[in-house]
Amino acid sequence: MTVLRSGSATDTGLVRTSNQDSLVATASLFAVADGMGGHAGGEIAADLAVRTLESAFIRQPSGMGLADAVNAANHAVWKASEERPELRGMGTTLTAMALVNEQGRDILALVNVGDSRTYRFHDGELTQITADHSVAEEMVRAGEITPAEAAVHPRRHILTRALGVADGVEVDLWRIHPNRGDRYLLCSDGLTNELGNGQIAEVLASVPDPDQAADLLVRAARSHGGSDNITVVVVDVVLGDEVRDVAEPVVPVAQDFVLSARGATPVGVAEPMAVPEARLPTRRERRRERRRERRRTRSRRLITVRTLLFVVLLGAVLAGAYQAVRWFDTSSYFVGLNGNELVIYEGRIGGFLWYKPAEAERTGVTVADVPAEFLPSLRQGVEEPSIDKARTYVHNLEVEQALRTSSGTSGTGGIPPVPITSTTKAGG
C-alpha cells in the first residue's frame, strides 16, 4: 500500500496585485493551476478548474478518470467564459497527480496542460516529467533552438495549450510506479522563472518536511524577484513497494489524449504495464526469508535511530542558518533611486545569497527635490540601520534643498543631512 505525504505554499509575489494561482492537496489528489486572462478572469479560471477537477476525480478515481476530470475542468472554464462576456478569453494551465489503483497496483497518474510543471526528485537528481506547452518549448522539441535559447526566448511565455480557451483540449497523461523515498514537485512557472534546477534540488534534498520545503521554495523564489505568483506542492512517497530495489523509469504509457466537451478519445494508447507472474514460495524459502527479515528489522532499527538523530541535528543547523541569513538581510535598509524617485529598500545593497532587496517604501521625493551632489551616492545606494533613519535621511535632503532654493544659494549651507553610514555600489 502506498501512502503519500504532502505540503504546499502559495504567494502573490512582489509584482502582481492578486494571486491567480490555485492548488489542491488532498490525500490522493494534488494539482496546481496558473490562471490567465486578467485580474478577475485568471483567478476564476484557476479556481474553477481545480474545484471541478477535484469533484470529477472523486467520481472516477483512476488514470482515465483523472484525464476525464481535466476534460470536465476544461469544459467548466470554457462554459463560464462563454456565458460571461467580461471573462471571455480566460484560461489556465493545470498540472495534477493522483494516487490510483489499477489492476491491483498503486499507480501515480499524472496529467499536464500548459507550462506549470511536475518534477520527480529521486536519488538526489531532479527530473522534469512534464513537457511545457509553449511556443519556445515546441521549438526546442523541433530542434529549432536549444534549451538555453528557450529560457530567454521572447515567446517562451506564449502557450500552445491551456484549459478553457476552446471546447476541447489535448492532455498529456502518464502512469508512474511509486517508489518509496521519491519526492514530487508540482509548481507554477512563478517558481521556475526565479530558481534553477540546482537551487530547487538543494531545497528538496535538505528539508525533509514537505510543508517546510514548499514554504522555503516559495520564499526563495520571492526573494529572487517574485515577478509572478508562486505556487508549490511537494509530495513524498513515504510508504510503498519495498521489494523493488531499482527505481523503474518514468514512462508515459498513455499520452496525448484529445479531450472534447463530449468525452475523451485516445489518440494512441500504449500497452498497460505488465505485471509479472507470481510464484508461491516453498516452506523452506519462507523460513529463510523470515530469518532474513528479522535481521533486516534489527538493522533498520539501528539505522532509524541514527538517521533520526542526524535529521534532527541537520534540521537545527539549517533552521539556525536560515534565520541568521534572514536576520542579516532584513536588518538593513538603504535609500536608492527608482527612476527619478527616492525609494527606501529593505535588504543589503546588491542582495545577499538568495535574498534580493525589496522595496519597503516609496518616498514621493524626486531627484529635483534633493541637492545634486548627493545623486551619485543615491544611485549607488546609501545604507541606513533602520527604516526610520532612512526616512530621516531623505527628509533632511529635502529640507536642505528647500533651504537652498529659498535662500537662492547653491552652496552646502543650511541644515546638513544625517551622516551617511556607508555607501556601497549596488551589486558590489
In a domain, 361, yes or no: yes
**Does the reported pTM lie above 0.95?**
no
Q: What is the pLDDT of residue 247?
A: 36
Neighbours of 141 (CB within 10 A): 10
Which domain, by its residues, includes 295? 279-318
| Residue where a domain terminates, one of 232, 248, 270 | 270
Given a cut of 80, whether residue 137 has pLDDT beyond it is yes
CA nearest 115: which of 98, 89, 94? 94
- Write the pLDDT tens digit of every residue in 165-206: 999 999 999 999 999 999 999 999 999 999 999 999 999 999
Residues 186 and 113 in one domain: yes
Residues 330, 11: Cα–Cα separation, whole Å: 19
Residues 41 and 117 in one domain: yes
Please check whether residue 40 is in contact with residue 89, taking contact to mean a CB–CB distance below 8 angstroms. Answer: no
Residues 50 and 88 in one domain: yes
Average pLDDT over residues 398-415: 69
Residues 15 and 136 in one domain: yes
Residues 104 and 219 in one domain: yes
Residues 301 and 266 in one domain: no
- Mean pLDDT value across the chain: 81
In a domain, 260, yes or no: yes
Residues 294 and 400 in one domain: no
CA-based torsion, 189, 190, 196, 200: positive or negative: negative
Neighbours of 238 (CB within 10 A): 14
In a domain, 428, yes or no: no
Residues 182 and 49 in one domain: yes
* Model confidence band, residue 414 (pLDDT cutoffs 50, 70, 90): very low
Q: What is the pLDDT of residue 256?
A: 33
In a domain, 326, yes or no: no
Task: Write the CA distances from 319 to 216, 312, 314, 315, 316, integer angstroms.
Answer: 11, 10, 8, 6, 5
Neighbours of 184 (CB within 10 A): 25
Q: What is the pLDDT of residue 287?
A: 65
**CATH code: domain of residue 197:** 3.60.40.10
Counted domains in the chain: 3
* Model confidence band, residue 319 (pLDDT cutoffs 50, 70, 90): confident
Residues 264 and 243 in one domain: yes
In a domain, 323, yes or no: no
Segment of 62-76, 229-243, 314-328 carrying the highest mean pLDDT? 62-76
In a domain, 303, yes or no: yes
Residues 31 and 80 in one domain: yes
In a domain, 327, yes or no: no
Residues 213 and 359 in one domain: no
In a domain, 228, yes or no: yes
Given a cut of 90, whether residue 67 has pLDDT beyond it is yes
Residues 217 and 340 in one domain: no
